[in-house]
Amino acid sequence: MKDKLIKIKNTVLDKLNTVNNEVELKAIDLQYFSRKGEISELMHHLKELSSEQKREIGALANQIKKELESKMKETRSFFDEKTNLNEVSDITLPGRKLKKGHLHPITIIQREVEDLFTSLGFSIIDGPELESDYYNFSALNIPPLHPARDMQDTFYVSSPDDKKQELDLVMRTHTSPVQIRAMKKYGAPLKVVIPGRCFRNEATDARHEHTFYQFEGMMIGENINFSNLKSLLEIVGKKLFGEDTKLRMRPKYYPFVEPGNNGEYTCFLCGGKGCRVCKNTGWLEIVGAGLIHPDVLRAGGVDPEKYSGLAFGFGLTRLAMLKYAVNDARLFNSGDLRFLEQF
């Protein structure tokens, strides 16, 4: 009888593990668990046993019965759940539309400018956002205590090894430090663009964010001169703002270029007549640029006697503001979907 009980147990467990539907489950229920089922039948024969056997086999029979009933209950609730699910899903209903993500406006404009420069043979490279004081300032001719540091105050960070708190790491204030890194890594001649995020300690307003994007470019070769810079910036202006766009270059001091200048384009909105966007000047200040200072070439390991270079830096955030007529730079990092969903 003990063997029979164990055989029934194994058979029922096998069947419950492979049962496919409720009809098959019902059949198992009838065959084994009903009043006239195989388990009840077997229990019936208990009375024929000696009292000692009754105690032993009875206990085993009860334990097996409990175990099988619990497995039966579990299997039944599995099918019940399945049925419930089937009841609530109406396959004729139209599907729920999944919201599609899209590119951030600054990414859109970054890709547009990248496409232009790759078509002109430039490579796109990257650099660290947490930069050394040396690359961000000193190697670019901005030594400690140089007044140009005031224009680009930033967030100074101490590294765990910086026991003396020398604060030699900074959140980079511009993409220009990558000029030095690129020269050191690739040498000359070189044609690269460097899009990236920058940080400054600003009293923020509609035109100044603490976190913003720049787009740097540099070209080094033999006989690179100011005409190369001018024609390159002209091409960019026409691509970004239309064929009629004109460029004017006015002197501006940047310690890492000589001569340095500010590139301005005729306002794309009024065509140079003067309007709200260009503050009635007809011109939009878009890019800082110049010929790379010999000291900077040297810091990058490039011989200024043999090579010369040009460099420029656009504010991508400002470009996006102009292109999409956004009146506050702070909106780009706000994470506000009412703003972002418009692009």
Binding site for ligand FA5 (CB under 6 A): 174, 176, 200, 202, 208-209, 212, 214, 216, 254, 257, 260, 288-290, 311-313, 315, 317-318, 329
Q: How far is the CB of 131 from ligand FA5 (least distance, A)?
A: 12
Residue 272: half-sphere exposure toward Cβ, Cα within 13 Å: 10
Q: Which residues pair with 260 in a beta bridge?
A: 290
Q: How far is the CB of 175 from ligand FA5 (least distance, A)?
A: 7
Place of tokens 């501006």: 252
Q: How far is the CB of 178 from ligand FA5 (least distance, A)?
A: 10
Distance CA 20, CA 15 (A): 9
Q: How far is the CB of 280 from ligand FA5 (least distance, A)?
A: 19
Question: By C-beta, is 263 or 272 nearer to ligand FA5?
Answer: 263
Q: Tell me the residue number closest to ligand FA5, measured at CB.
A: 315
Q: With contact defined as beta carbons under 8 Å apart, do 206 and 160 qualify?
A: no
Q: How far is the CB of 256 from ligand FA5 (least distance, A)?
A: 6
Distance CA 284, CA 208 (A): 16
Token output for 66: 């409990």
Q: How far is the CB of 316 from ligand FA5 (least distance, A)?
A: 8
Q: Would you give the DSSP letter of residue 32? A: I
Question: By C-beta, is 19 or 177 nearer to ligand FA5?
Answer: 177
Question: By C-beta, is 288 or 300 nearer to ligand FA5?
Answer: 288
Exposure string of 225-253, with b = 16+ CB inside 10 Å and e = fewer, is: eeebbbebbbebbbbbbeeebebebeeee
Question: Is the bond preceding 294 in cis, omega lying within 30 degrees of 0?
Answer: no
**DSSP state string for 159-202:** -TT-TT----EEE-SSSTHHHHHHHHHH-SSEEEEEEEEEE---
Question: By C-beta, is 272 or 288 nearer to ligand FA5?
Answer: 288
Question: By C-beta, is 39 or 216 nearer to ligand FA5?
Answer: 216
Question: By C-beta, is 77 or 201 nearer to ligand FA5?
Answer: 201
